[in-house]
Chains A and B, each alone.
Chain A
Amino acid sequence: MPSTRPPVDYIERTRAQYDALGYPPYQWVHSATPPPWAPLEKPLSECRVGLIGSGGIYQVGQVAFHYKDDFSFRIIDTRAPTSQLRATHFAYDLTDARSDPNVVFPIDTLRDLVQEGFIGELAEYAYAFMGGIYSSRKVRDALAPALAERVIRDEVDVVLLVPV
């Protein structure tokens, strides 16, 4: 039977879970004002595409993420073999990401899309962090600006953000 049920409301479920655990309510980030809009000015087939994922991906040889508000990031060469990519995170089931990192970090997928000409090219680097960061301030004031600076330096036309 085709899916007829609405999307899972994770805000509601987190509220219920925190309540059951006796935690104070989780404070979600709400952005009320419309975000800035940058129109795409060339076809995707001519675009350099960046990738940023929050699924806790690191490459063998790099230091793994820790689970206490780790707001560091890893620079991943987009030519890196997928067999060298790992996944670490405390808040989602890692089974599939460890079997195939593309489920949260679509690196082969994007390479395929370059190959077929759907996108122009991949940026030289992709970026990964572990998104279980409970301080929105650290993300807003430190991590997000640092990643923005990186992708601007990489001269990307678009960035695919893949949160978990």
Chain B
Amino acid sequence: MTSALSITRAANPPRAAYLDFPLGHTAGKPHQRELNRAIVRDALRSFETLRAPGDVVMLPYEWAADDAWKDTAMRPRQDKAGQRDDRVERRADPQYQTEADRAAADDALAHGGCTTCVWLDERG
């Protein structure tokens, strides 16, 4: 699945299904279970319908009644100095969603480690 068509065409996977939604919604909208099921069903169906490597299915779903979101996607505010980048700082320590998550992970690490976390060597 993809919401970034030009990037996907450049990477050139064997099959792709394009969903014209803002980044962060590659598989649907929050709490819209029926819609998301239809989207992923259509995406999976492309495993049966696509016939040539590099083909991309264009999924027929719209994010909103108009396309205003396309004007602001990855175009951060430029009115204030230093406000040209929406991304947050790239810190090198684990970035937990909540402090409780950090405590849970630290507890697991103190008792045998995280067996479902896989850290890789650079050479694979």
Write the residues of chain A forming the contact surface with B, with a CB cutoff of 8 angstroms.
1-5, 7-14, 16-17, 20-21, 28-38, 40, 43-44, 47, 49, 55, 58-68, 71-77, 86-88, 90-94, 96-100, 102-106, 108-110, 112-113, 116, 118-119, 132, 138, 141-143, 145-146, 158, 160-164
Contacts and interface: CB of A to CB of B under 8 A. Distances in A.
Given A71-B120, A74-B117, A63 B29 contact: no
Nearest to B68: A5
Given A17-B74, A146-B124, A93 B4 contact: no
Contacts of A58: 101
Contacts of A94: 24, 97
Interface residues of B, number: 82
Ranked nearest first, the 7 interchain pairs of A and B with the lowest CB-CB distance are A100-B30, A142-B124, A31-B12, A106-B27, A64-B94, A67-B90, A75-B116
Contacts of B20: 3, 7
B92 A66 contact: yes
Interface of B: 1-7, 10-14, 18, 20, 22-31, 33, 36-37, 39-41, 43-45, 47-48, 52-54, 62-63, 65-67, 70, 73-76, 78, 84-98, 100-102, 104-105, 107-109, 114, 116-124
Given A35-B54, A38-B14, A116-B37, 14 more contacts: A3-B20, A3-B62, A8-B70, A10-B73, A40-B48, A61-B105, A62-B108, A62-B117, A67-B88, A86-B96, A96-B30, A109-B28, A146-B124, A164-B23
A103 B31 CA distance: 9
Nearest to B26: A162
B52 A37 contact: yes
Nearest to B5: A7
A43 B117 contact: no
A43 B48 contact: yes
